[in-house]
């Protein structure tokens, strides 16, 4: 998960958890509490992962023709600069996901607004509006990661056997490659 996706979907799941247990004049049924618990668990997992990821952030430091990788102030490993590859995301895949997120987001927002005219269930309206907003925000975060960030692939080794992907600001990557402090 890159960028803000974990924050967006974790918050959305917690929002849905709260909506499921809101009583409509009486106590919420047991099924509503169970569904709410699942939503709360998934939302908490997303947010916990994002908090952990923020605490153990990687820092890349250029040392001659090597890139030193630091985590929590300690050097994790050093790799040659040429081993760091700039990855371009698949535009067709982004287009497919973008069309789906955009269509679903606009559809949910439209349903939420239209159902408000009928003075129906206000919690249902909030759920539709919240999920529509989450879809469109997720689309915005994906577009930002694609067009305004550079994805670097660090080679794998040992515990990093699959390698790591790091999103960086393009100007910082250029500064790192050119050896300009930034």
Residue 16 maps to a domain: yes
133 in a domain, yes or no? yes
Give the residue numbers spanning the domain of 43. Answer: 1-55
**Does 170 reside within a domain?**
no
Residue 18 belongs to a domain: yes
> What is the count of structural domains for the chain?
2
pLDDT digit string, tens, across residues 105-136: 999 889 888 877 766 667 778 888 889 999 99
H/E element, 20: helix 5-20
Domain assignment present for 63: no
Q: Is residue 117 part of a domain?
A: yes
66 in any annotated domain: no
Q: Select from 10, 40, 55 the last residue of a domain.
A: 55
Same domain, 50 and 99: no
Give backbone dihedrals phi and psi of 2, rounded to 5 degrees, phi first: -110, 155
Could you report the per-residue pLDDT of 146-164, keeping only the tens digit for each? Answer: 888 888 888 876 655 556 7
Are the CB atoms for 102 and 136 separated by under 8 Å? yes
Cα–Cα distance for residue pair 26/137, rounded to 1 Å: 34
The token pair at 169 is 């600001």
pLDDT digits (tens, 9 = 90+) for 55-91: 888 888 888 788 888 888 888 888 888 888 888 778 8
In a domain, 31, yes or no: yes
Residues 95 and 51 in one domain: no
């Amino acid at each position: 998960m890159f960028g803000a996706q974990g924050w967006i979907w974790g918050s959305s799941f917690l929002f849905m958890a709260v909506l499921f247990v809101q009583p409509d004049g009486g106590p919420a049924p047991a099924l509503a509490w169970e569904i709410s618990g699942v939503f709360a668990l998934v939302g908490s997992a997303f947010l916990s992962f994002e908090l952990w990821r923020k605490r153990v952030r990687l820092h890349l430091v250029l040392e001659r023709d090597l890139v030193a990788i630091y985590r929590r102030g300690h050097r994790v490993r050093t790799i040659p600069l040429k081993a760091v590859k700039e990855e371009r995301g698949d535009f067709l895949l982004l287009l497919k996901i973008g069309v789906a997120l955009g269509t679903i987001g606009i559809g949910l927002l439209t349903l939420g607004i239209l159902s408000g005219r009928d003075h129906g269930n206000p919690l249902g309206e909030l759920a539709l509006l919240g999920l529509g907003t989450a879809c469109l925000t997720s689309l915005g975060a994906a577009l930002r990661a694609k067009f305004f960030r550079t994805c670097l692939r660090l080679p794998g080794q040992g515990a990093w056997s699959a390698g790591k992907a790091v999103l960086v600001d393009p100007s910082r990557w250029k500064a790192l490659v050119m050896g300009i402090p930034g």
